[in-house]
Amino acid sequence: MSRSALEEIILTRIRPTPEEVGHLRAISDQIIAFLMEQHQRPAMLVGSVARGTFVRGDRDLDIFMLFPVDLPRDGLVEQGIAVASDVVDHFGGTAVEKYAEHPYLNARIYDLDIDLVPCYHVAAASAIQSAVDRTPFHTRYIIPRITPFVDDALLMKQFTKAGGIYGSDHMTEGFSGYLCELLILHYGGFTQLIEAASGWRPGHLIDPENHRRRPFSEPLVVVDPTDPNRNVAAALSLDQMCAFIELARSYQKSPSEVFFTLHRPVSFTQRQVALALSERGTSLYTITFETPAYVPDTVVPQLRKSVIAITELLEKGGFHVNRTDCSMGEEVSVLLFELFNDTVPPVVRHIGPPVWNGENPEKFIRKYVEGSPLSGPFIEDGRYVVEIRRRYTEAHALLSSSILLEAALGKHVRKMMDKGWSVRSGADCWNEGLSSFFAAFFERSSPAVRIMRMGNK
């Protein structure tokens, strides 16, 4: 099926230039040659640059250094970081050590962002010893198949980027580049994918090699053609899958270049936060603490787990939560809670057992008689009821208390909060570094609705 005139125009803007391709290839070739000549270390370029499916302007290279499978994990890490550090020094770059399943170097060499990743040189994806060992097989699978569909892959990536659903990181929970490419291959083009996705439902299964070996529970299942036990779409959340369905339907109905246009994040001033809270009549609280020294894929799930745990504490205390969010920054991380009420009366009712319920009524009475309740225990509708004093009558007091450390926080979050945290409320939650975070929170809408509003302006 041929592409539309609109899509051909978009492609002229997003195809990488020959000069860009040549530059990226030249740098990667130099690094790979240096690794072999100086360290006798085989390496390969992986990712979208290797597959020719990167969008113009992307300046990232992923170079995987291949180590023998009999090398212990400690040796892989030690040698991998040492060799990668020598690469950075040789090319006059800078680097920081990052952590995924094991450490790797994220380097800045010339004008490029380059990940130098040690992995095992396994014979098959089924023999991987670490998660990154699988990545070279993805590249080998895609390269011989993608050539007729490179433009379609570019459209898909730009479409999901503009929709805010590109990226399989835990903050985005969207579409990885590899997933985009597999979907394009499976459906035979961008237009066909958009048509098919308009009718997706949760539980949709795609198995390119018809070799699935186990059931999967995620909303979208795309069985990895290099590993029958892996779902390539495992990181895709139900909401982001539905956002793509909505975008596909909207694009089919009213194609426009806005579906491929990246927009700068909107920012909120402190005054706008105050106005939003005044309009909504809600209360806003943030908990801020030092960011754990781990990659986002480790930290973000723990931030979300901590938000859920603290929400349960708030609800149990009588503070009703409307929405929550979290943000991982370089220096500090933030947990955000919007409450319908941030104060509660001192008295709370506690419903006890029915009067006829064996020994339990006696235990209930004894417990609360000795505890000096505000009222009761008394009988109401056949059950004992007691009215007791709340421990916290203000949300700020609860969020500032050590009771938070008793909640089911993420492990690394707890370690950071053990060092201390700060609580802010209302417009005081705002700071310049969180201006886009607050704008996204208060102006939240689905991608297609956001595009619709842009078209009406």
pLDDT tens per residue, range 200-241? 999 999 999 999 999 999 999 999 999 999 999 999 999 999
What number of H helices and E strands is found in the chain?
A: 16, 14
Strands (E), 82-224: 94-99, 103-109, 112-120, 204-206, 220-222
pLDDT of residue 455: 60
Residue 247 has pLDDT above 80, yes or no: yes
Nearest 5°: phi and psi at 62?
A: -120, 110
Q: Which amino acid is at 234?
A: A
pLDDT of residue 457: 54
Residue 78 has pLDDT above 70, yes or no: yes
Return the axis-axis angle of helices 177-187 and 135-146, rounded to nearest 10°: 40
291/379 Cα distance (integer angstroms) = 50
Report which of 94, 230, 355 is spatially closest to residue 222, judged by C-alpha positions. 230
pLDDT of residue 241: 97
**Structural domains of the chain in order of their starting residue, each with its CATH number:** 5-135 (3.30.460.10), 145-260 (1.10.1410.30), 270-343+393-456 (3.30.70.590), 349-389 (3.30.70)
Residue pLDDT, tens place only, 298-343: 899 999 999 999 999 999 999 999 999 999 998 999 999 999 999 9
Residue 1 has pLDDT above 70, yes or no: no
Nearest 5°: phi and psi at 348?
A: -140, 140
Say what the pTM is. Answer: 0.86
Tokens of 21: 């391709």
